[in-house]
């Protein structure tokens, strides 16, 4: 298990993928909490195989609360990292939105736990082992 604190301005999922490579992780699951300045979340349309996305911005003085962050990661056969992260987010009005995390900018920080499972994920999720 690897505990990570992403500082303000860190870009998700890029920062997570860099840590996975640096630490030599193979595959596992991600859980976390924290805050974001901006987020792009999406809903996957299985008919078109594309994401319908929505942008959320906290404004200059605000924060988007990460109520829940969960996902998985694996190191592909070509050496690249695949992450699949879903979030539930809340703004100042306490309303929530959720979906696939396309991109997020940390504010003030994001706390994550990467729980290593290993090569097993690549065997089970073969459809993700392509770039």
**Which residues fall within 8 angstroms of residue 121, CB to CB, at 6 or more apart?**
26, 27, 28, 72, 73, 74
Domain range holding 23? 2-128
pLDDT of residue 94: 87
How many domains would you assign to the chain?
Answer: 1
Q: What is the pLDDT along the chain (131 residues), one digit of tens a residue?
A: 999 999 999 999 999 999 999 999 999 999 999 999 999 999 999 999 999 999 999 988 799 999 999 999 999 999 999 999 999 999 988 899 999 999 999 999 999 999 999 877 777 777 787 76
* CATH number for 42: 3.30.1330.80
Contact of 74 with 129, CB cutoff 8 Å: yes
pLDDT of residue 6: 99
Rg, C-alpha atoms of the chain: 15
Give the rounded distance of the alpha carbon of 82 from its chain centre.
10
What pTM was estimated for this model as a whole?
Answer: 0.91
């Amino acid at each position: 298990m690897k505990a990570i604190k992403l500082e303000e301005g860190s870009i998700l999922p890029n920062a997570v993928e860099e840590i996975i490579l640096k630490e030599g992780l193979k595959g596992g699951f991600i859980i976390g909490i924290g805050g974001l300045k901006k987020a792009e979340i999406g809903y996957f349309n299985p008919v078109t195989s594309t994401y319908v996305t929505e942008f959320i911005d906290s404004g200059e003085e605000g924060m988007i609360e990460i109520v829940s962050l969960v996902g998985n990661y694996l190191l592909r056969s070509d050496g690249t990292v695949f992450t699949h992260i879903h979030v539930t987010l809340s703004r100042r009005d306490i309303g929530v939105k959720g979906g696939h995390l396309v991109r997020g900018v940390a504010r003030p920080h994001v706390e994550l736990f990467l729980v290593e499972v290993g090569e097993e994920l690549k065997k089970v999720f073969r459809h993700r082992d392509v770039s």
